[in-house]
Chains A and B, each alone.
Chain A
Amino acid sequence: DIQMTQSPSSLSASVGDRVTITCRASQDIGSWLAWYQQKPEKAPKSLIYAASGLQSGVPSRFSGSGSGTDFTLTINSLQPEDFATYYCQQYNTHPLTFGGGTKVEMK
């Protein structure tokens, strides 16, 4: 299985901050990488597909980059509604696997 390692596992930030979350795959996955946002008691919401594609309706302050094994999710100017847990997921190879999550908390 491809292991997806996210860092950090949690971070504290303030409204207006720029936040960066990284995701590393244990082997090359090309650009088959997605990012999801999950709020408590809610289903995950797709933010980014194919490493850098912005899902329809997602604010442009979210962006993704990377290819191969190293990926980044950036949130520019963090907003109150962005405090949540973020997961990366590879969909290059079965079984599909998720990172362990990064919880973005209010400082």
Chain B
Amino acid sequence: QVQLQESGPGLVKPSDTLSLTCAVSGYSISSTNWWGWIRQPPGKGLEWIGYIYYSGNTYYNPSLKSRVTMSVDTSKNEFSLKLSSVTAVDTAVYYCARKTSGYYPFEYWGQGALVTVSS
């Protein structure tokens, strides 16, 4: 059973860097899948942030690309998101998810982590 669990600070100050980690269990992160991040501002829809392959290849949403960095730690079976220079509009629930390679969308999701940007 694949399980994903986000962790990180729930409160980040404006202009700081948001950092989240997604721990993967029940499945090796070193497989032919993409490991992604999606966010959802309170009461709003879903926005794809980007994803990373186990080898380190990445695709980022151009709207966030200048501020986003994703990485994979195969030794810990986890992957991470960093979003720099945050403002209040970055307040959202952040989900990590697995996209199976090929013809499949995001099949497995974490429970989500609310990150609030406020001083």
Which residues of A does B touch, CB under 8 Å?
Answer: 1, 32, 34, 36, 42-46, 49-50, 53, 55, 87, 89, 91, 94-101
Contacts and interface: CB of A to CB of B under 8 A. Distances in A.
Interface residues of B, number: 20
Main secondary structure of the interface of B (DSSP, over half): loop
Nearest to A32: B103
A11 B63 CA distance: 31
A89 B46 contact: yes
What DSSP secondary structure best describes chain A's contact surface? loop
Given A94-B59, A95-B61, A97-B48, A43 B107 contact: no
Contacts of A94: 59, 61
23 contacts: A34-B105, A36-B46, A43-B95, A43-B110, A43-B111, A44-B106, A44-B109, A46-B107, A49-B103, A49-B105, A53-B103, A87-B45, A89-B48, A89-B105, A89-B106, A94-B59, A95-B59, A95-B62, A97-B48, A98-B45, A98-B46, A101-B45, A101-B46
Given A43-B109, A91-B105, A95-B48, 18 more contacts: A32-B103, A34-B105, A43-B97, A44-B106, A45-B109, A49-B103, A49-B105, A50-B104, A53-B103, A55-B107, A87-B45, A91-B99, A94-B61, A95-B61, A95-B62, A96-B48, A98-B48, A99-B45
Interface of B: 45-48, 59, 61-63, 95, 97, 99, 103-107, 109-112
